[in-house]
């Protein structure tokens, strides 16, 4: 079924183009100047390629009243007078739409990541970076595939890209300097996505939904490591003014992501008052905590790559996220790899082991 027939509300258009002035395609005739950590990451990416049609059990059904079997406390209007006044049927509709809205943004964001990876192949200055970026493009195509299949086959419902995510992608793709693609996608958007994926991976009681996010996170953990390696080598070479420009981009992007996380476009198709729901979302203690946790992957990475001026630290303190600077990001990314392996082995302790694939 065409996606346009599944949208809860029609998107502004079915296509969108962004132009970048002075976009440079970078060739490099040195093929044997490779950094050991990037070579190791590239080798891991080759070995960890997977087929979504085989690794995931698509025969599993989803409960139409709570497709991902998530606790109602995850719904930002839960516990309000509005929620208590809903019928069981209307509560089931909210669950389905809210979950579809979240997965839709994952899908749109992964398409952005796919194009960013292709852009990195074109623009990255070194061959070892181009090699890894090529594997990432395959990963991101697979991620678009799995979220699209989940939405089309299991939810039969899709939401358009949110204005906040769209404007952030526009900013990244309008920038012609190669390191902004790394910083915007590998560090900021991928970092935020990892925190959002983790929420579903760890909280969903539906095996298919949890496994999709576990396997996507296994790939994304490598992508964040790729960005860290490339930028950690590059940013010390920049002037103070150039680093300050990158830090301003980080600060403004993080405020932008935090302030636009209100699911504004979800409430209209449900027949609710949009302004009332947005106010409830912004007041929700659960959503305040969630917005803070979204930066748990970004803050330690920004610190690690050297964009850690007093201005950046002040901004993260104001967002209530400065404590994440002490997180061991390497251990966190290694854990993502481990959890994916546990899903494969059926040792998560949450789901029955999957029967051997045919």
Q: pLDDT: is 259 or 255 the higher one?
A: 255
Question: Closest by alpha carbon to 187, among 218, 229, 133?
Answer: 229
Q: 179: Cβ–Cβ under 8 A, 6 or more apart, which residues?
A: 230, 231, 234, 235, 246
Does the pLDDT of residue 62 top 80, yes or no? yes
The predicted structure's pLDDT at residue 24: 81
Other CB atoms within a 10 A radius of the CB of residue 278 amount to 16
pLDDT band of residue 16 (cuts 50, 70, 90) is confident
Q: State how far the Cα of 256 lies from the Cα of 34, in Å rounded to an integer.
A: 36
Q: 40: Cβ–Cβ under 8 A, 6 or more apart, which residues?
A: none
The predicted structure's pLDDT at residue 109: 93
Residue range 227-242: mean pLDDT, rounded: 93
Q: State how far the Cα of 2 lies from the Cα of 170, in Å rounded to an integer.
A: 25
Please tell me whether residue 16 adopts helix, strand or coil conformation.
coil
The predicted structure's pLDDT at residue 355: 57
Six-digit token string for 70? 């998530």
pLDDT in tens, 81-94: 999 999 999 999 99
Q: What are phi and psi of 158, to 5 degrees?
A: -140, 145
Q: State how far the Cα of 357 lies from the Cα of 354, in Å rounded to an integer.
A: 8
**Beta partners for residue 158, in sequence order:** 7
Question: Closest by alpha carbon to 97, among 69, 67, 74?
Answer: 67
Domain 3-9+37-345, CATH: 1.20.1260.10
Does the pLDDT of residue 184 top 70, yes or no? yes
pLDDT in tens, 297-315: 999 999 999 999 999 999 9
Q: State how far the Cα of 353 lies from the Cα of 358, in Å rounded to an integer.
A: 15
The predicted structure's pLDDT at residue 164: 87
Please tell me whether residue 284 adopts helix, strand or coil conformation.
coil
CB 64 within 8 A of CB 92: yes
Q: State how far the Cα of 121 lies from the Cα of 132, in Å rounded to an integer.
A: 8
CB 11 within 8 A of CB 107: no
Instruction: Report pTM.
Output: 0.92
pLDDT band of residue 261 (cuts 50, 70, 90) is confident
Residue range 27-52: mean pLDDT, rounded: 92
Does the pLDDT of residue 20 top 80, yes or no? no
Residue range 264-293: mean pLDDT, rounded: 88
Other CB atoms within a 10 A radius of the CB of residue 273 amount to 12
Q: What are phi and psi of 155, to 5 degrees?
A: -100, -35
Q: pLDDT: is 309 or 257 the higher one?
A: 309
Q: What angle do CA 347, 350, 351 make, to 5 degrees?
A: 75
**10-14, 215-219, 275-279 — which is least confidently predicted?**
10-14
The predicted structure's pLDDT at residue 262: 77
The predicted structure's pLDDT at residue 357: 45
Other CB atoms within a 10 A radius of the CB of residue 109 amount to 25
Q: 47: Cβ–Cβ under 8 A, 6 or more apart, which residues?
A: none
The packing angle between helices 190-203 and 329-345, to 10°, is: 40
Six-digit token string for 16? 């969108």
**88-92, 171-175, 289-293, 325-329 — which is least confidently predicted?**
289-293
The predicted structure's pLDDT at residue 293: 83
pLDDT band of residue 354 (cuts 50, 70, 90) is low
């Amino acid at each position: 079924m065409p996606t346009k027939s599944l949208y809860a509300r029609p998107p502004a258009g079915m296509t969108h183009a962004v132009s970048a002035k002075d976009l440079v395609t970078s060739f490099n005739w040195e093929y044997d100047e490779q950094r050991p950590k990037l070579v190791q990451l590239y080798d891991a990416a080759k070995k960890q390629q997977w087929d979504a049609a085989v690794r995931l059990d698509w025969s599993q059904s989803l409960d139409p009243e709570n497709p991902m079997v998530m606790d109602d406390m995850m719904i930002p209007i839960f516990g309000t007078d509005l929620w208590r006044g809903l019928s069981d049927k209307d509560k089931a509709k909210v669950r389905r739409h809210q979950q579809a809205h979240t997965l839709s943004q994952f899908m749109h964001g992964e398409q952005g990541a796919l194009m960013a990876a292709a852009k990195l192949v074109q623009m990255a200055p070194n061959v070892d970076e181009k090699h890894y970026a090529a594997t990432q493009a395959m990963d991101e195509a697979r991620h678009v595939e799995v979220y699209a299949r989940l939405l089309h086959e299991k939810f039969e419902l899709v939401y358009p890209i949110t204005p906040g995510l769209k404007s952030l992608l526009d900013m990244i793709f309008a920038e012609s300097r190669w390191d902004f693609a790394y910083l915007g996608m590998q560090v900021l958007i991928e970092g935020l996505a990892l925190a959002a994926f983790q929420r579903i991976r760890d909280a969903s009681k539906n095996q298919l939904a949890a496994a999709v996010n576990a396997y996507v996170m296994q790939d994304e953990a490598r992508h964040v490591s790729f960005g860290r390696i490339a930028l950690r080598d590059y940013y010390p070479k920049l002037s103070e003014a150039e680093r300050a420009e990158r830090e301003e981009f980080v600060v403004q992007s993080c405020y932008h992501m935090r302030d636009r996380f209100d699911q504004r476009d979800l409430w209209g198709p449900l027949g609710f008052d949009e302004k009332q729901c947005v106010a409830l979302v912004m007041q929700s203690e659960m959503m305040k905590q969630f917005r803070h946790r979204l930066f748990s992957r970004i803050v330690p990475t920004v610190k690690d790559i050297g964009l850690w001026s007093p201005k950046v630290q002040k901004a993260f303190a104001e967002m209530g996220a400065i404590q994440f600077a002490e997180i061991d990001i390497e251990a966190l990314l290694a854990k993502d790899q481990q959890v994916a392996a546990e899903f494969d082995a059926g040792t998560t302790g949450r789901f029955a082991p999957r029967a051997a694939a045919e």
